[in-house]
């Protein structure tokens, strides 16, 4: 049995908070549907204190903003985007198209078609998340999406130059300084100035995640990527200082970001808690990291490695960092996670910022049924069929007739009957010639 040294707030409190988020988001989406650009502008003024003449940046404005960014930042963005692009290309190469002849003259095929317009949401607010531009836009372009609309909010009324540079270098076709629910709604339903997209990708706060949830079906979404989660798995060989630093690295994302430690060592658990308490007061992002740890941090002590992985899978967390003597064992033992980070040399922050795998990952248990954003999310895997052999047409027509009548689908049956009649002269008792 696991022993819990630190509890999170009750789930009922989290659920109550989400109810308020749902209500607010529904109101904004309905308003944008009805009033379009006017509503978008009002919400941008209200939430971001931002109301320019045009939310979309012109080519000249983008070039001027990019030119203002230090060359080292540009070089770093370019390097990281190449890592993301390279990994996405390998993913694309792993996806095969094929055509196979299953019967004489019966050809079945599969191909991948990119969505024609994708929306990339790059969070802003407190942090200029340039890395989200790499993950959403670069990956879409590798998939072959012809139109990528990228939205990011201003930060304290200012243009986030590095983020704009990242969006531009990633290949965005349209760059909009617009954030929050109003940006997601505008991309989804369209306005007089923004054509709607087919799919929206990218992380965001609880409001952005809820907007994507409510609009799903009307448009596609990548996944439900809400507040960041980190799960650290440690044995008695793990360094409590490293555990603490890495837990807080994700807690600083926001006051609702869960940070959880599961360990086989009570000593590691206690020392990690002590290290967190020592580090927190001096963190520049303490105002986010501290409430995240206080309200959503957890520490569990388990009796064995088997229990460690069993409990880890039950969490189904976004990021799972494995600080054990045999970290690659997690590849065999775990099935429910967004991304694994194996060994002390591989921190979650590498995945967030620089290593090349995608950081848009499932949260709130969504790892039970989906992985993270990847090149395949921007592709529609479609099929096609062709029957050119008359004997096969007759065979399939007769079979279709019988199978359809078992299900009482007479119209379907007659379509099959007609193929058998035209290919082999079968009678059509239901048709008066």
Residues marked as catalytic: 318-319
As given in the structure block, the two tokens for residue 55 are: 């939310």
The full length of the chain comes to 433
DSSP 363-415: -TTGGGT-----GGGGEEEEEEEEE--HHHHHHHHHHHHHHHHHTT-HHHHHH
Do the beta carbons of residue 8 and residue 257 sit within 8 Å? no
Cα 395 from chain centroid (whole Å): 45
As given in the structure block, the two tokens for residue 186 are: 């505008």
Distance CA 22, CA 211 (A): 8
Distance CA 68, CA 6 (A): 46
Distance CA 229, CA 250 (A): 7
Do the beta carbons of residue 289 and residue 248 sit within 8 Å? yes
């Amino acid at each position: 049995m696991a022993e819990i040294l630190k509890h999170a707030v009750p789930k009922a409190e989290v659920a109550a908070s989400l109810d308020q988020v749902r209500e607010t988001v529904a109101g904004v989406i309905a308003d944008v549907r009805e009033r379009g650009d006017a509503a978008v502008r009002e919400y941008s003024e209200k939430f971001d204190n931002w109301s320019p003449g045009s939310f979309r940046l012109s080519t000249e404005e983008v070039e001027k903003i990019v030119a203002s960014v230090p060359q080292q930042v540009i070089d770093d963005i370019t390097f990281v985007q190449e890592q993301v692009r390279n990994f996405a290309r390998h993913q694309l190469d792993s996806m095969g198209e094929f055509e196979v002849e299953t019967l004489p003259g019966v050809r079945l095929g599969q191909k991948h078609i990119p969505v024609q317009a994708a929306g990339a949401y790059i969070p802003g607010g407190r942090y200029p998340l340039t890395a989200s531009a790499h993950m959403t836009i670069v990956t879409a372009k590798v998939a072959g999406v012809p139109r990528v609309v990228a939205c990011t909010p201003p930060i304290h009324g200012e243009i986030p130059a590095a983020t704009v540079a990242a969006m531009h270098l990633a290949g965005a076709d349209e760059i909009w300084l617009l954030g929050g629910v109003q940006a997601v709604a505008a991309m989804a339903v369209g306005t007089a100035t923004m054509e709607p997209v087919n799919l929206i990708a990218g992380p965001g706060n609880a409001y952005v995640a809820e907007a994507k949830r409510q609009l799903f079906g009307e448009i596609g979404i990548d996944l439900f990527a809400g507040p960041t989660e980190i799960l650290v798995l440690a044995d008695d060989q793990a360094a409590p200082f490293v555990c603490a630093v890495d837990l807080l690295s994700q807690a600083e994302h926001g006051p609702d970001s869960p940070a959880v430690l599961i360990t086989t060592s009570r000593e590691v658990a206690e020392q990690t808690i002590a290290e967190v308490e020592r580090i927190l007061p001096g963190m520049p992002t303490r105002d986010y990291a501290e409430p995240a740890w206080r309200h959503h941090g957890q520490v569990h002590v388990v009796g064995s490695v088997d229990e460690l992985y069993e409990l880890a899978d039950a969490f189904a967390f976004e990021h799972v960092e494995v600080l054990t003597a045999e970290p690659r064992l997690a590849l065999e033992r775990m099935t429910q996670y967004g991304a694994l980070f194996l060994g002390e040399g591989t921190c979650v922050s590498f995945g967030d910022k620089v290593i090349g795998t995608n950081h848009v990952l499932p949260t709130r248990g969504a790892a039970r049924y989906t992985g993270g954003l990847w090149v395949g999310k921007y592709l529609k895997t479609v099929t096609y069929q062709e029957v050119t052999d008359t004997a096969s047409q007759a065979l399939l027509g007769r079979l279709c007739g019988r199978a359809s009548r078992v299900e009482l689908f007479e119209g379907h049956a007659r379509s099959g009957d007609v193929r058998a009649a035209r290919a082999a002269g079968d009678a059509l008792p239901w048709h008066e010639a």
